[in-house]
């Protein structure tokens, strides 16, 4: 075999281009429910890739649509995948080789993970409308690590430690909670799941972290009240932030660099670039809630993409979070201006030193 030493082989990119479906790039997607999809032979449905700049090629996303009353092809692969249902209802069967099938039903707002290298198949349970989901995978990392697609899609090893074939309630939605961390493999509805106080990030926010299917990728849901915003922080690449509810915006900037603003609403997804500070603001009339599908399990150490510095600790103390008193004053000025446009009150109160006197009275 001859090699072209002037160009490195990108196994993931080559595989992706061979799928012949749209590839969406850039900083964010305005609405995942409206992303254009095309016939996808590999899946047996319609699809489009989502490769946003902030992922840095470490993980990816894709939108998949199942036509009314149809099913996708059986799948199996040696990379992790988390699935968030954007619209519709249906069912999924998952099984180990020669093992019992586990079938569960899902709906708009459901979240689950595909256990590593398990067989699975998705079904649209409605005959009059398509079903659509968004998935985040670590396929780029795994494909380029092994650079052998026969191994990625054809290896027969059973990861029984991640998905015990005899586990009857694996996808029941029942989980084990410790602190704000929930070990679970199926979340029926991300819109109404219980959240827990998260004082460290400020703004009166609440949060829950998910450990899904023994993955090294993880996910969490956060919500913060009307008239509030969270503390700025930074972390590694690949955190796909999907807006579930509310209206607002995010500010993102590299250290000592210019700020980028992304305005969002339900259905939007934004991925903060590697080690860029970012901050989320609720400028609407309802609580803002988002789902983040990302790297960094709370249980399993993954050195390549795990942050060594704690993200809930002040940067002055060696962490990755900027406290309110240290933020650029213009950040709060931008927030006040955004609230004024919709007639919403600021409720940051004494949390931010440069709040106006009116802010302090309404907090």
Task: Give the domain range for residue 261.
Answer: 176-362
CA atoms within 13 A on the CB side of 60: 21
Shared domain for 147 and 203, answered yes or no, is: no
- Taking the mean position of all CA atoms in its chain, how far away is CA 124? 23
Model confidence at 306, in pLDDT bands (50, 70, 90)? low
Strand arrangement, sheet containing 277-282: 260-264, 248-253, 277-282, 232-233, 321-322
Q: What is the pTM of this model?
A: 0.94
Number of domains in the chain: 2
**Angstrom distance (rounded) from CA 354 to CA 98:** 64
Average pLDDT score over the chain: 92
In a domain, 249, yes or no: yes
Shared domain for 207 and 355, answered yes or no, is: yes
pLDDT tens for 207-254 read 999 999 999 999 999 999 999 999 999 999 999 999 999 999 999 999
DSSP-assigned beta bridge partners for residue 269: 29, 242
* Alpha-carbon torsion angle 157, 159, 164, 165, nearest 10: -20
* CATH number, residue 21: 2.60.120.10
Shared domain for 206 and 330, answered yes or no, is: yes
Contact indicator for 112, 92 with CB cutoff of 8 Å: yes
Which two structure tokens, joined as six digits, stand for 2? 């001859």
What lies within 8 Å, CB to CB, of 75 at 6+ separation is 43, 114, 119, 120, 121
Model confidence at 308, in pLDDT bands (50, 70, 90)? low
């Amino acid at each position: 075999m001859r090699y072209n030493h002037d160009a490195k082989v990108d196994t993931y990119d080559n595989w992706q281009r061979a799928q012949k479906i749209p590839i969406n790039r850039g900083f964010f997607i305005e609405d995942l429910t409206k992303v254009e999809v095309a016939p996808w032979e590999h899946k047996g449905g319609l699809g489009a890739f989502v490769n946003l700049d902030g992922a840095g090629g470490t993980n990816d996303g894709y939108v998949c649509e199942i036509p009314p009353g149809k099913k996708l092809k059986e799948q199996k692969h040696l990379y992790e995948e988390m699935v968030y249902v954007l619209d519709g209802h249906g069912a999924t069967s998952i099984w180990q080789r020669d093992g019992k099938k586990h079938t569960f039903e899902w709906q708009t707002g459901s979240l689950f993970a595909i256990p590593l290298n398990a067989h699975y198949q998705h079904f649209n349970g409605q005959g009059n409308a398509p079903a659509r989901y968004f998935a985040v995978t670590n396929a780029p990392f795994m494909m380029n690590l092994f650079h052998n697609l026969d191994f990625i899609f054809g290896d027969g090893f059973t990861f029984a430690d991640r998905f015990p074939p005899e586990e009857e309630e694996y996808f029941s939605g029942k989980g084990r909670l410790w602190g704000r961390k929930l070990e679970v493999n199926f979340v029926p509805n991300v819109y109404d799941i219980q959240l827990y106080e998260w004082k460290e990030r400020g703004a009166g926010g609440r949060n829950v972290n998910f450990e899904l299917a023994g993955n090294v990728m993880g996910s969490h849901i956060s919500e913060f009240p009307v008239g509030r915003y969270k503390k700025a922080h930074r972390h590694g690449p690949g955190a796909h932030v999907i807006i579930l509810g509310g209206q607002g915006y995010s500010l993102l900037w590299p250290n000592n660099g210019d700020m980028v603003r992304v305005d969002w609403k339900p259905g939007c997804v934004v991925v903060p670039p590697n080690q860029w500070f970012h901050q989320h603001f609720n400028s609407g009339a309802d609580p803002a809630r988002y789902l983040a599908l990302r790297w960094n399990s709370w249980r399993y150490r993954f050195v390549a993409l795990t942050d060594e510095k704690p993200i809930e600790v002040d940067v002055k103390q060696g962490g990755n979070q900027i406290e309110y008193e240290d933020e650029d004053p213009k950040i709060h000025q931008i927030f006040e201006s955004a609230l004024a446009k919709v007639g919403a009150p600021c409720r940051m109160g004494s949390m931010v030193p440069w709040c106006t006197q009116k802010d302090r009275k309404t907090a």
